[in-house]
A and B are shown apart, each in its own frame.
Chain A
Amino acid sequence: MSKREILVGLIGNPNVGKSSVFNRLTGAKQRIGNWPGKTVEKKEGWFRHRGFSVHVVDLPGVYSLSAISIDEAIARDFIVEEKPDVVVDIVDASNLERNLYLVLQLIELEANLVIALNKIDLAQSMGFEVDHEALSRELSIPVVPTIATKGYGIDELKDAIISSFENPQPPKPISYGEDVEQAISELVEAFRSDAELSKYPLRWLAIMCLERDQTVASLIKKSSIYDKVKEVLGFER
Chain B
Amino acid sequence: MSGKSFEALIPERRYEVASKITQRVVKKRETRPSISDALDQVFLHKWLGLPIFFAMLWAAFRWTFDASAPVSDAIDAFFSWLGEIAATVPNEVLASFLSDGLCGGLGFVLVFVGPIFFLFFALGLLEDSGYLARAAFLMDRLMHRFGMHGRSFICMLMGFGCNLPAIMSTRTIADEKDRLTTILVNPLMSCSARLPVYVVVAGAVMGQYASAAVFSMYVLGLALALMMALLFRRVLFGGEPSPFIMELPPYSKPLMRNVFIYMWERGVVFLKKAATILLAGALILWFLSTFPWGAGVENSYAGLLGHAIEPLLRPLGFDWRLAVALFFGFMAKEVVVEALGILYGVEEEEAVSAILANSITPLTGYAFMAFTLIYIPCLATIGIIRSETGSWRWTLFSVAYLLALAYIVSALIVALGHLLGFG
Contact = CB atoms under 8 A, between A and B. Distances in A.
Interface of A: 14-15, 39-40, 68-72, 95-98, 100-101, 103-105, 122, 126-132, 134-135, 138-139, 174, 176-177, 179-180, 183, 207, 210-212, 235-236
Contacts of B15: 101
Contacts of A105: 14
Contact of A128 (B2, B17, B26, B173): B26
A125 B29 CA distance: 10
A179 B1 CA distance: 6
Contacts of B172: 14, 69, 71
Nearest to B13: A176
Shortest Cβ-Cβ A-B pairs, 5 listed? A100-B18, A127-B31, A210-B6, A176-B13, A69-B174
Given A39-B387, A131-B26, A180-B9, A236 B1 contact: yes
Contacts of B13: 176-177, 180
* Majority-rule SS of A interface residues: helix
Interface of B: 1-2, 5-7, 9-11, 13-15, 17-19, 21-22, 24-31, 34, 168, 171-175, 247, 249-250, 384, 387-388
Nearest to B387: A39
B76 to A, nearest CB: 36
Contacts of A134: 24-25
A100 B171 contact: no
A126 B384 CA distance: 41
A69 B173 contact: yes
Contacts of A235: 1
A130 B34 CA distance: 19
A219 B14 CA distance: 24
Given A96-B25, A100-B21, A176-B17, 6 more contacts: A14-B247, A100-B22, A128-B26, A130-B25, A138-B24, A180-B10
A135 B21 contact: yes
A39 B27 CA distance: 42
B360 to A, nearest CB: 41
A236 B10 CA distance: 13
A132 B27 CA distance: 11
Given A104-B14, A211-B11, A129 B6 contact: no
